[in-house]
Amino acid sequence: MDLKRYTHADARDVRSLLLDIHDEAYADDPAPFNSRERFSYFVDLWSSREDWQCLSGWEQGGPVGYAYGSKFKPGGWWKGHRRPSDLKGSVFALSELMVVPKWRATGRAQQIHDALLESVSADVVTLLVDTGHPKVQALYERWNYSKEGETKPSDDSPLYAVMVREL
């Protein structure tokens, strides 16, 4: 799999790719929260951060998926959840890890995840997992994440498990 890295400076150029992969990944999900319009808000929010990092995977002439995120400001944490008091150091928030359906369950998601985190200079990585997807949570647990609690950051969002892993 070929990997491509992007930064905040590339956000405008990669935006359509991220939205198109999202559309393919959520094609069978009619929930308004997972609409392209709603997701574009999050893409723009995260990619506007100066330390935003994104990595996409490519194979057989097309995209496999991507992962992106950025560091929380010192003391920062997920909306609706209290930062664990024993969590020390800098925190990278992995906002998205998305793989097109054709490439699911092939190990590509972990390759993209691991490659992105190789370039992250933080003490901890955290992410949110929809609690309605226990298999996805179990996958992250196999990747050495632990659940720290749950949060519902907005009225229209699902309930998320807050996952944390030391780097």
**pLDDT, tens digit, 9 for 90 and up, residues 26-84:** 999 988 999 999 999 999 999 999 999 999 999 999 999 999 999 999 999 999 999 99
∠ Cα 135 112 30 (to 5°) = 50
pLDDT of 7? 97
Per residue in 80-127, pLDDT (tens digit) is: 999 999 999 999 999 999 999 999 999 999 999 999 999 999 999 999
* Distance linking the first and last C-alpha atoms of the chain: 24
Do residues 33 and 156 make contact, with C-beta atoms less than 8 angstroms apart? yes
Mean pLDDT for all residues in the chain: 96
Predicted TM-score (pTM) of this structure: 0.96
What is the band of 137 on the pLDDT scale with cuts at 50, 70, 90?
Answer: very high
Q: What pLDDT, on a 0 to 100 scale, did the predictor assign at position 73?
A: 95
What percent of the chain clears pLDDT 70, i.e. is strictly above it? 100
Region at 128 (left for phi over 0; alpha for psi -120 to 50; beta for the rest):
beta
Q: Which CATH number fits domain 2-166: 3.40.50.720, 3.40.50.1820, 3.40.630.30, 3.40.190.10?
A: 3.40.630.30
Interval 4-26 mean pLDDT: 97
